[in-house]
Homo-oligomer: A and B are copies of this chain.
Amino acid sequence: MTSFNIVLYGGFETLDAFGPAEVIGQLPQDYSLKFHSLNGGIVVSSQQVPVDTLPFAEMDQSGILLIPGGFGARKLVIDENYVEQLKLFSEKAPYVLTVCTGSALLAKTNLLNGMKATSNKMVFEWVCSNGTEVNWIKKARWVKDGKYYTAAGISAGIDMLLGFVSDMHGVETAQTIANYIEYIWNSDMDNDPFGDAVTD
């Protein structure tokens, strides 16, 4: 069974983490879902959800990594030690997924340099400033480049995770999950109704 590690930090965006958790949690035979933070313990989201986490030191580094966004990311992009840890985990992970401004954190590791990626459309300029050598795509619900999956803002993470499941297990499995969670899946990664909000 593959570990699916979701990185949490103070001020993460609730749905960035738990939309994907809902989707991956529908495949309990394939993925072991775990929540990690730097030191472990209770971590509180921007919307005041307190989550119990395991420390980074206990992470199964062979697992898939998901990095959510959130206001807390603004402090962490300038925390060199934190970014270095994310870089080590990301290098080892078979797949790295980000939602919203989680792509700014991943961009700071330089692992996205020369690659295509997307992010939240409301703070797109700020995200781009954290990775000037990334090929940022303004109009995309999510982007896949090599082992990196990056989603647009917040709820786009649900669409991307269904896309990830489709890539790994087939589109029928993804559609079955979408139906089960009664979710109207935007399955076209290029269909981004919010991309036009980017004016920079």
Contact = CB atoms under 8 A, between A and B. Distances in A.
Number of copies: 2
Contacts of A154: 22, 180-183
A105 to B, nearest CB: 18
A181 B49 contact: no
Contact of A18 (B15, B122, B186): B15
Nearest to A25: B47
Contacts of A35: 49-50
A37 interface: no
Interface residues of A, number: 42
Contact of A15 (B19, B120, B153): B19
Contacts of A22: 13-15, 18, 47, 154
A52 B158 CA distance: 24
**8 tightest A-B contacts by CB?**
A25-B47, A153-B182, A15-B22, A50-B52, A18-B18, A155-B183, A154-B181, A182-B194
